[in-house]
């Protein structure tokens, strides 16, 4: 009996981890605190969490903070918040920067054992030598010289800025990542955690295999584009006599019309194309939650992608269509009418405004357990112009949730009608939204977003700045029924016959109005 077999079906099709036994698995998610988490990171962390739980093991979240030029406290804090929002509970949070002394020790070990050398070859030339598989002129440097320059680099000496430490692996390897990769380099910027203690930092390539081994990671999950680096990772663990880690590859998650590189997302923030990292147009965790994805469907969707090793270029429409299934089950229904393009209908036999009359209707017709709401009715009601085009005298229409009204007079934008108490719903061809024309209606702004990128799939040689969508936000002013003023931030509702919306800013006063963000339902064009 293999207890892990019980977990095989947690996510259909998710492959087992090689060599894993329950209780002996440690995985880790290693974000660099150089930006906010995005939907691709969500896949990485949820996969790690999935395997840790499936094998009753441990999940480490480790800040891969080895580069002070890109990293900030702000990002570190936001990543922890984002993990919390995602519902991920790491067993421990660690920092590569806590191992800087240890890693420096390993670098010295490499130097002393002829496994590394110091190099001052200019970057461009180094690149060229890598391409041409030519050894650096310093490759056969003595241990003494190597130590001397390493110390100059680590002590913050100006001369040390020119030098970096390179592993001595194999310049003739067919695998470019084995051609004497850089292991350590100078950086005089203060580190957001370590301050000014260090003047040189290990690269991710050196730090990762060391810290994975020290922290007891059994399975390092890496995206398939790291495949080439696996050989280097294993070389380092083996050269340093470290406990070996198994590597488990999974595919990167990409989306059409979307940039996921942190550097490029930073550019959008810094150049004002978005209001911040939590902009609803952004593929960040914050962005998609703000756009209106439900947490449960977000997690389910991402894990359902986890099973595949193919690098997928997802369509947002699939993502939002899954989300719609979930939110449709609990989005309370309301009505709203376009603020300007409307006409007035006088229902002669309806109560006057002074009579304060209401009808009672289910929040969710499909599920009465959500309770009822009261909708104001009155003699004067507003209808959307587009809904009454071509309407003729004598026609019966349905005012949704209220009933049948027979149109008795059409006079431009003024209609007159009569409420028919037991009118035949089915016989009427127009079933339309309406709003009692009373003081208690609410000003509502609807925000509809589009992709920031106008090209479905950006190629290597595309500059994303040439494919920026100039129009990514459309707003519509509507009038909503008074019940909308009780909504809380993040509530998801449906405006009948318009779509699903998330409350971005609840109603405080008429001047600010209610701010609703449209939640894509997966049906519109490029979404």
DSSP-assigned states of every residue in 81-138: HHHHHHT---SEEEEGGGGHHHHHHHHHHHHHTTSEEEE---HHHHHHHHHHT---TT
Minimum Å gap between C-beta 257 and ligand ATP is 15
User: Is beta strand 336-338 parallel, antiparallel or unpaired with respect to 253-255?
Assistant: unpaired
Tell me which of 32, 326, 384, 448 is the catalytic residue: 32
CA distance 59 to 57: 7
Q: Residue for token digits 């380092």?
A: 236
What is the pattern of x (binds Mg ion, CB under 5 A) and - over residues 13-32? -------------------x
Tell me which of 28, 262, 324, 498 is the catalytic residue: 262
DSSP class of 271 = T
223 contacts which partner out of ligand ATP, Mg ion, none, CB within 5 to 8 A by kind?
A: ligand ATP
The correct pick among 142, 261, 414, 486 for binding ligand ATP (CB under 6 A) is 261
Minimum Å gap between C-beta 246 and Mg ion is 20
Among 480, 475, 525, residue whose Cα is nearest residue 506: 480
Number of residues that bind ligand ATP (CB under 6 A): 16
The C-alpha angle with vertex 431 and arms to 426 and 435, in degrees rounded to 5, equals 140
> Does position 259 bind ligand ATP by CB under 6 A?
no
Minimum Å gap between C-beta 18 and ligand ATP is 18
**Contact predicate 249/224, CB 8 Å:** yes
Does residue 139 have an active-site annotation? no
- Give whichever of 35 and 417 is closer to ligand ATP, judged by the CB atom: 35
CA distance 101 to 60: 21
* Span from 257-265, 358-366, 417-425, 505-513 in contact with ligand ATP (CB under 6 A): 257-265
Among 92, 85, 96, 166, residue whose Cα is nearest residue 130: 166
Does residue 401 have an active-site annotation? no
* Span from 143-151, 260-268, 320-328, 335-343 in contact with ligand ATP (CB under 6 A): 260-268
Q: Under 8 Å CB-to-CB from 471, ≥6 apart: which residues?
A: 450
DSSP class of 218 = S
Task: Please give the residue whose beta carbon sits closest to ligand ATP in the complex.
Answer: 40
Q: Give residues 471-510 in contact with Mg ion (rule: CB under 5 A).
A: none
237 contacts which partner out of ligand ATP, Mg ion, none, CB within 5 to 8 A by kind?
A: none
Minimum Å gap between C-beta 208 and Mg ion is 10
Provide the β-strand partners of residue 223: 250
Q: Give residues 31-50 in contact with Mg ion (rule: CB under 5 A).
A: 32
324 contacts which partner out of ligand ATP, Mg ion, none, CB within 5 to 8 A by kind?
A: none
SS3 label, residue 49? helix
Minimum Å gap between C-beta 83 and ligand ATP is 12
Minimum Å gap between C-beta 499 and Mg ion is 35
Tell me which of 53, 72, 246, 252 is the catalytic residue: 252
Helices (H) and strands (E) in the chain, counts: 11, 27
SS3 label, residue 502? strand
Minimum Å gap between C-beta 273 and ligand ATP is 17
| Full strand arrangement of the beta sheet holding 514-519 | 332-334, 492-495, 499-505, 514-519, 442-449, 473-480, 336-338
Tokens coding 159? 């001369």
Does residue 291 have an active-site annotation? no
261 contacts which partner out of Mg ion, ligand ATP, none, CB within 5 to 8 A by kind?
A: ligand ATP
The correct pick among 229, 262, 376, 379 for binding ligand ATP (CB under 6 A) is 262
Q: Give residues 16-35 in contact with ligand ATP (rule: CB under 6 A).
A: 30-32
Minimum Å gap between C-beta 219 and ligand ATP is 13
CA distance 60 to 212: 10
Return the number of other C-beta atoms located less than 10 Å from residue 160's C-beta. Answer: 22
The correct pick among 14, 27, 36, 40 for binding ligand ATP (CB under 6 A) is 40
* Span from 37-45, 105-113, 273-281, 386-394 in contact with ligand ATP (CB under 6 A): 37-45
SS3 label, residue 368? helix
- Give whichever of 283 and 499 is closer to ligand ATP, judged by the CB atom: 283
Among 319, 266, 261, 259, residue whose Cα is nearest residue 294: 319
Minimum Å gap between C-beta 191 and Mg ion is 17
Q: Give residues 445-504 in contact with ligand ATP (rule: CB under 6 A).
A: none
Rounded to an integer, what is the distance from CA 10 to the centroid of its chain?
23
Q: Is 98 exposed, middle or buried (0-12, 13-18, 19+ CB in 10 A)?
A: middle
185 contacts which partner out of ligand ATP, Mg ion, none, CB within 5 to 8 A by kind?
A: none
User: Is beta strand 434-436 parallel, antiparallel or unpaired with respect to 380-384?
Assistant: antiparallel
Q: Under 8 Å CB-to-CB from 487, ≥6 apart: which residues?
A: 493, 503, 506, 507, 514
- Give whichever of 44 and 383 is closer to ligand ATP, judged by the CB atom: 44
- Give whichever of 121 and 266 is closer to Mg ion, judged by the CB atom: 266
Task: Please give the residue whose beta carbon sits closest to Mg ion in the complex.
Answer: 32
The correct pick among 44, 382, 397, 487 for binding ligand ATP (CB under 6 A) is 44
Q: Under 8 Å CB-to-CB from 272, ≥6 apart: which residues?
A: none
The correct pick among 252, 332, 447, 467 for binding ligand ATP (CB under 6 A) is 252
Q: Give residues 219-248 in contact with ligand ATP (rule: CB under 6 A).
A: 223
Residues that bind Mg ion (CB under 5 A): 32
Report, as residue numbers or ranges, the catalytic residues.
Answer: 32, 252, 262
Binding site for ligand ATP (CB under 6 A): 30-32, 40-41, 43-44, 64, 223, 252-254, 260-263
């Amino acid at each position: 009996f293999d207890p892990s077999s019980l977990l095989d079906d947690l996510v259909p099709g998710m492959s087992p981890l090689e060599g894993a036994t329950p209780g002996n698995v440690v995985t880790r998610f290693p974000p660099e605190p150089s930006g906010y988490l995005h939907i691709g990171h969500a896949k990485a962390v949820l996969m790690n969490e999935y395997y840790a739980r499936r094998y009753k093991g441990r999940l480490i979240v480790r800040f891969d903070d080895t580069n002070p030029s890109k990293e900030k406290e702000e990002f570190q804090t936001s990543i922890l918040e984002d993990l919390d929002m995602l519902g991920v509970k790491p067993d421990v949070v660690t920092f590569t920067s806590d191992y800087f002394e240890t890693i420096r020790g390993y670098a010295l070990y490499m130097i002393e054992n002829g496994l590394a050398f110091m190099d001052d070859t200019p970057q461009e030339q180094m690149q060229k030598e890598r391409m041409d598989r030519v050894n650096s002129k310093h490759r056969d440097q003595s241990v003494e010289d190597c130590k001397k320059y390493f110390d100059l680099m680590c002590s913050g000496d100006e001369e040390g800025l020119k030098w970096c430490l390179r592993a001595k692996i194999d310049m003739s390897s067919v695998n470019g990542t084995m051609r004497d990769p850089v292991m350590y380099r100078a950086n005089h910027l203060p580190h957001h955690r370590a301050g000014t203690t260090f003047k040189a930092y290990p690269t991710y390539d050196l730090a990762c295999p060391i810290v994975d081994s020290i922290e007891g990671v059994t399975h390092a999950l890496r995206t398939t584009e790291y495949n080439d680096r696996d050989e280097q990772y294993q070389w380092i663990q083996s050269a340093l006599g470290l406990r070996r880690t198994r590597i488990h590859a999974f595919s990167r998650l990409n989306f059409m019309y979307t940039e996921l590189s942190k550097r490029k997302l930073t550019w959008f923030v810094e150049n004002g194309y978005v209001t911040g990292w939590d902009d609803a147009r952004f593929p960040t965790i914050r962005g998609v939650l703000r756009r209106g994805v439900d947490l449960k469907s977000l997690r389910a969707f991402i894990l359902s992608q986890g099973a595949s090793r193919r690098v997928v270029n997802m369509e947002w429409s699939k993502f939002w269509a899954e989300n719609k299934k979930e939110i449709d089950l609990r989005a309370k229904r309301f009505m709203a009418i376009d603020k300007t393009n409307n006409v007035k209908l006088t229902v002669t036999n309806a109560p006057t405004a002074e009579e304060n009359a209401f009808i009672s209707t289910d929040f969710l017709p499909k599920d009465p357990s959500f309770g009822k709401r009261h909708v104001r009715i009155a003699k004067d009601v507003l209808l959307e112009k587009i809904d009454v085009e071509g309407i003729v005298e004598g026609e019966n229409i349905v005012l949704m949730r209220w009933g049948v009204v027979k149109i008795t007079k059409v006079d431009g934008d003024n209609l007159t009608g009569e409420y028919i108490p037991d009118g035949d719903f089915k016989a009427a061809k127009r079933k339309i939204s309406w709003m009692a024309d009373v003081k208690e209606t609410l000003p509502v702004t609807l925000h509809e977003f589009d992709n920031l990128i106008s090209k479905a799939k950006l190629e290597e040689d595309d500059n994303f700045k040439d494919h920026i969508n100039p129009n990514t936000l459309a707003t519509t002013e509507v009038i909503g029924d008074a019940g909308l003023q009780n909504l809380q931030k993040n509530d998801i509702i449906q405006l009948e016959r318009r779509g699903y919306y998330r409350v971005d800013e609840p109603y405080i006063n008429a001047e600010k109005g209610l701010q609703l963000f449209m939640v894509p339902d997966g049906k519109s064009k490029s979404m």
